[in-house]
Amino acid sequence: MDLLKELTDRKVLAVVRADTPRLAVACVHALTEAGISALEISLTTPGAFGALARARADSPADVMIGAGTVLTAEQAELAAAAGASFAVTPGLTPGAAHSTALGLPLLCGALTPTEVVAALDAGATAVKVFPASAHGPGYLRDLLAPLPHAPLVAIGGIGIRTAPAYLAAGALAVGVGSPLLGDAGKGGSLEDLADRAADLLRAVGRTAAGAETSR
């Protein structure tokens, strides 16, 4: 699948961190059933590669499941072996370079204009602006002024209420973690997780509709 197209179309990347592999897989199932179809399982989750392989095997083919927080070349190898659709890194890590060498689409972390350019030069499919909330939606707009064609995904501290502002500022998608997951990764209610996912999709859908109307 084309990661750039999928992120552009789907607008939302769910970031899953959980206390156990079983909980990670359960969160993935709840999110996909609620309509979110682009997700990453953070490697900070215990047993993340097993959870990734299980979630990949259990999910429809059109669901994209990536490996998040890929730091090393070994982690990139294991992510690819587990069936990851893409790799996500916090910056230009050795794992970022090895992911592109493996042909694994890369969402590479960056913050400054220099880092954004370096990430794209290194072969990133899209750039994860992280932590996006440190500077707010206006910072995305400022980054895009000199780099209008940079494919930026805003991640870090973004919630359901604030996600539309980042899309309006020019982000092609938003990544949402703890404000979406809540306590589900610790064994909390999966029904509440599904409700939050539905709320997020409604918020993003309104933004997308508004953007189309204004053109």
Residues with active-site annotation: 40, 128
What single-letter DSSP state applies at residue 134?
G
Instruction: Return phi, psi of residue 192, to 5°.
Output: -65, -35
Whether 80 and 70 have beta carbons less than 8 Å apart is answered as: no
Q: Is 189 helix (H, G, I), strand (E, B) or coil?
A: coil
Give the span between the Cα atoms of 17 and 10, in whole angstroms: 20
What single-letter DSSP state applies at residue 39?
E
If you search the block for the tokens 């370096």, which residue do you land on? 118
Element containing residue 50 per DSSP (H, E)? helix 48-58
Element containing residue 64 per DSSP (H, E)? strand 64-68
CA distances from 99 to 55, 71, 78, 186, 199 (A): 20, 10, 10, 29, 33
